[in-house]
Amino acid sequence: MYLSFGDRMAAAGAVGFAVYVLQLGRYFSESNPMPSVIVMLAVCTVGSARLVLINAAVA
């Protein structure tokens, strides 16, 4: 089974985001961590879209 660079990056991002959410659960035990998760998702979405647009312009 061959994993391309993009597959490995997606898997690493998924693992990283899972660790981030678990750490939020530890540090936000008394308050709601969802606003922080939503901000993180928005930042990842904007960053990914930016990279896609940059790569599309280069290709």
Per-residue pLDDT band at 37 (split at 50, 70, 90): confident
- CA dist 10 and 12 (Å) reads 5
Q: What predicted TM-score, i.e. pTM, was given to this entire model?
A: 0.60
Mean pLDDT of the chain: 85
Structurally, the chain folds into a number of domains equal to 1
Average pLDDT estimate for 18-38 = 83
Domain range for 27: 5-58
Residue with tokens 């939503």: 38
Average pLDDT estimate for 20-45 = 84
Cα angle vertex 14, ends 48, 31, to 5°?
A: 95
Give the pLDDT score at 46. Answer: 94
- CA dist 48 and 9 (Å) reads 12
Give the pLDDT score at 59. Answer: 62
